[in-house]
C-alpha cells in the first residue's frame, strides 16, 4: 500500500474488496496491506462482530443478504462478470496517484476504480450516483458528482445541467464503457439519455480509456456516440474467436492501443 494504514482504513478497504470480489483471503490482505496475518484476522473478527461479514477458512465473504443487495445495484443477473473483473483489473493499472479522472456510469468503470484503490489523492468527476457514493468514503479523494436529471434505472445524471457542468472540467484520463465497439459502427450505447454528456466526457480528457469486455467487440447498439477514434486505449479480454481477432486488429490499425486483460494468452500465440 506504500503507507501504514489505520485500522479504520483497513476495515473500510476490506469491505470494499468484498463488495467488489465477493471473497477475500487473509494471506492476500496481509501482503497487500503490509501487515501481519494476525492483524488481518483481528480485523475480520471485528467485522464479523459488526455483522458485516461471514468468516470462512482462510478469509471472509459478505453476508448473504449483502451479496444479494450489492448484486442488485447492477442487476441480479449481470452477465460476463468474470470478464468485466478481468478488464477492470487491467485498466486499473493505467491509473496513478493524484490522477484527475472523469468516469462514466457502468459496472466495468466502477470496478476499475475499485481495483485502483491503492492509488491515492484521486480527483474524480462522474455522472454515476453509485460510483460517487462509493468513492466519497475515501478521505483523500475529491469526488464531484454532476448535477442534472437522474436516470432511475442506471443511476446516472444527464440533461442540460450535466452537460454544462462537465464542460467546466478537464481530466488526465477518462474511463468509459460502451455497449458496442466496432471499427465501422464506432462507439455505440443502449443509453437513450445522456449521449451528449458521454461525448463531452470523452472530449474532456487527455487520455481516453474504453473498458469493454470482449462480448461488446463487433456489436452495434442503437445510440451512436462517435467514431472509434474517440478513444485512445481499449482494454478488453483476449479472445480466440477469429472474427473478433480481425475486428480488434482493425481497431488497432485505426490507431487505438488495444490492451488485453489476459496478456499471457496473447504472448502464447505470438501477438503483441
Q: Is the pLDDT of residue 186 over 70?
A: yes
Residue ranges of the chain that CATH labels 3.40.50.1360: 79-268
Top pLDDT among 117 and 109 is at: 109
CATH class held by domain 79-268:
alpha beta
Share of residues in the chain with pLDDT > 70 (%)? 89
> Cell match 452495434: residue?
220
pLDDT for 14-41, tens place per residue?
987 887 666 788 998 998 888 999 999 9
Q: 3-state secondary structure string, the chain?
A: CCCCCCHHHHHHHHHHHHHHHCEEEHHHHHHHHCCCHHHHHHHHHHHHHCCCEEEECCEEEECHHHHHHHHHHCCCCCCCHHHHHHHHHHHHCCCCCCCEEEECCCHHHHHHHHHCCCCCCCEEEECEHHHHHHHCCCCCCEEEECCCEEECCCCEEECHHHHHHHCCCCEEEEEECCCEEECCCEEEECCCCCHHHHHHHHHCEEEEEEECCHHHECCCCCEEEECHHHCCEEEECCCCCHHHHHHHHHHHHCCCEEEECCHHHHHHCCCC
Find the mean pLDDT for residues 151-175: 92
CATH architecture, domain defined by 7-71: Orthogonal Bundle (1.10)
Q: Is the pLDDT of residue 75 over 60?
A: no
Q: Is the pLDDT of residue 249 over 80?
A: yes
pLDDT reported for residue 66? 62
pLDDT reported for residue 70? 57
CA gap 99, 54 in Å, rounded: 35
Q: Is the pLDDT of residue 122 over 90?
A: yes
Residue ranges of the chain that CATH labels 1.10.10.10: 7-71
Least confident interval from 66-70, 89-93, 257-261? 66-70
Find the mean pLDDT for residues 141-150: 94
Q: Is the pLDDT of residue 1 over 50?
A: no
pLDDT reported for residue 39? 95
pLDDT reported for residue 266? 55
> Cell match 494468452: residue?
265
Amino acid at each position: 500500500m506504500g503507507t501504514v494504514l489505520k485500522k479504520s482504513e483497513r476495515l473500510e478497504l476490506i469491505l470494499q474488496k468484498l463488495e467488489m470480489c465477493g471473497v477475500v483471503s487473509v494471506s492476500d490482505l496481509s501482503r497487500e496491506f503490509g501487515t501481519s496475518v494476525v492483524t488481518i484476522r483481528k480485523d475480520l473478527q471485528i467485522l464479523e462482530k459488526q455483522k458485516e461479514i461471514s468468516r470462512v477458512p482462510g478469509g471472509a465473504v459478505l453476508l448473504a443478504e449483502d451479496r444479494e443487495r450489492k448484486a442488485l445495484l447492477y442487476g441480479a443477473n449481470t452477465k460476463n462478470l468474470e470478464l468485466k473483473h478481468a478488464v477492470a483489473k487491467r485498466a486499473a493499472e493505467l491509473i496513478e496517484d493524484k490522477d484527475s479522472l472523469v468516469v462514466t456510469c457502468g459496472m466495468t468503470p466502477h470496478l476499475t476504480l475499485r481495483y485502483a484503490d491503492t492509488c491515492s489523492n484521486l480527483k474524480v468527476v462522474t455522472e454515476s450516483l453509485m460510483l460517487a457514493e462509493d468513492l466519497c468514503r475515501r478521505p483523500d479523494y475529491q469526488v464531484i458528482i454532476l448535477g442534472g436529471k437522474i436516470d432511475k434505472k442506471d443511476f446516472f445524471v444527464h440533461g442540460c445541467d450535466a452537460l454544462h457542468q462537465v464542460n467546466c472540467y478537464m481530466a488526465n484520463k477518462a474511463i468509459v464503457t460502451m455497449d458496442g465497439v466496432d471499427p465501422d459502427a464506432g462507439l455505440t450505447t443502449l443509453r437513450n439519455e445522456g449521449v451528449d454528456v458521454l461525448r463531452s466526457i470523452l472530449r474532456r480528457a487527455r487520455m481516453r480509456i474504453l473498458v469493454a469486455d470482449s462480448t461488446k467487440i463487433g456489436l452495434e447498439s442503437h445510440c451512436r456516440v462517435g467514431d472509434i477514434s474517440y478513444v485512445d486505449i481499449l482494454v478488453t479480454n483476449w479472445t480466440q474467436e477469429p472474427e473478433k481477432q480481425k475486428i480488434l486488429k482493425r481497431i488497432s490499425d485505426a490507431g487505438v492501443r488495444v490492451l488485453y486483460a489476459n496478456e499471457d494468452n496473447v504472448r502464447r500465440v505470438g501477438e503483441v
